[in-house]
Amino acid sequence: MSRLLRLLRRGLDATRGAWPALRAAYALVHQAAHILGNEEGAEGATVQARYAAHLAAMRAARDQLGALGPAIDRFLRVSESYWPGLFRCYGVPGLPRTDNDLEHWFGAARYHERRASGRKGADPGTVVRGQVRLVAAVATRQRPPGADDLLPVDLARWRALRQQLAVRHQARRAQRRFRRDPAAYLADLEALLLKPVLPA
């Protein structure tokens, strides 16, 4: 124990000069996390204004942090890159604040898909219809859908989504045809390419 104590004292003595800057940088980052935590339940615009003011304070304090200045620069750059979607969760009830909660939902949907299909890997249908399947899986776990939920609200948008899914499905069918018989698939493509175009 005495040897361990000597090692710790030697390490603390060697890094004594870095501790004040480290404490100050930690306090700044901790305050940013506290603002985004929004324990008092303020509105999104209020949280955004507080966070913008805090980032300005971090930018002003950057030069006093010595070697940790580049770390503050990186923190500011990352905050600015996330800015467009950073405060949306405060205006939408039930929207998770972090990606961790969303990852949990997608992981659970993947797990149930594997259990239902018996596949060890991802279901190819998720690639084609994932945009619909994953949202439906998450939504139905919140509450069972009623008859009104199944009616399309915006018919044009529903048709556009169906068209997107049909295009993806056609691409998957083409991949399957190519894997089964590449020579025949390429011959069909070549025949389509060389087919004379009738004048209009």
- From residue 71, alpha-carbon distances to 21, 37, 50 in Å are 12, 21, 21
pLDDT beyond 70 at 127 = no
Q: What is the dihedral of CA 175, 178, 180, 185, to 10 degrees?
A: 140
List C-alpha distances in Å: 1 to 4, 6, 11.
5, 9, 15
pLDDT of residue 120: 76
Task: Count CA atoms within 13 Å of residue 32 on its CB side.
Answer: 19
- Can you give the pTM of this predicted structure? 0.54
- Give the tens place of pLDDT for each residue, 159-181: 888 888 888 888 888 888 888 89
pLDDT greater than 80 at residue 123: no
**Residue 133 above 80 pLDDT?**
no
Rounded CA-CA distance 31/34 in Å is 5
User: What's the mean pLDDT when you consider all of the chain?
Assistant: 83
Query: For the chain, which residues make up each domain, given as ranges?
Result: 15-90, 98-146, 161-194
pLDDT digits (tens, 9 = 90+) for 23-68: 888 999 999 999 998 888 888 889 999 999 999 999 998 888 888 8
Query: Do 50 and 35 meet the contact criterion of CB atoms below 8 Å apart?
Result: yes
| DSSP assignment of 153-200 | SSHHHHHHHHHHHHHHHHHHHHHHHHHH-HHHHHHHHHHHHHSPPPP-
* pLDDT at residue number 41: 82
